[in-house]
Structure 1
Amino acid sequence: MPNRFVDTIEAETGVQLYRFSHMTHGEYQDDKVEVEMKKNLETLIEAMKFAAANLTKSGKA
């Protein structure tokens, strides 16, 4: 979901921000927690890969 504040922070600082679901939106679904946590874990993995790649590039790994 686009967010102009996040876009501004990323543009001005060069920091990559990642969005996690807090699971408090939308209608009730039996599998909501499972589905949203799977997406959160995928986002976390993406963020960790990004951080690791940047540490390697900067020679700090």
Structure 2
Amino acid sequence: MSIIIGWLYFVMWSCCYYPQIYKNFRRRSVLGFSFDYFVLNFTGHICYFVFNFSLAFNTSIQ
């Protein structure tokens, strides 16, 4: 159950970008797109990846 919830969380977090990208493409403008949001969310994805990678492959953390 924990693995399913983790993957669901990852997929839903990743999908949050697509509506804004689609809207910007249709308008041919980046009006309303926050660069700070992008940087902070990208940093969050990197930290989440490092955390999960460490838990999966580092035996001393396990």
Could you tell me the TM-score, scaled by structure 1's length? 0.49
Query: Which structure has more RCO (C-alpha within 8 Å, separation ≥ 6)?
Result: 1
Could you tell me the TM-score, scaled by structure 2's length? 0.48
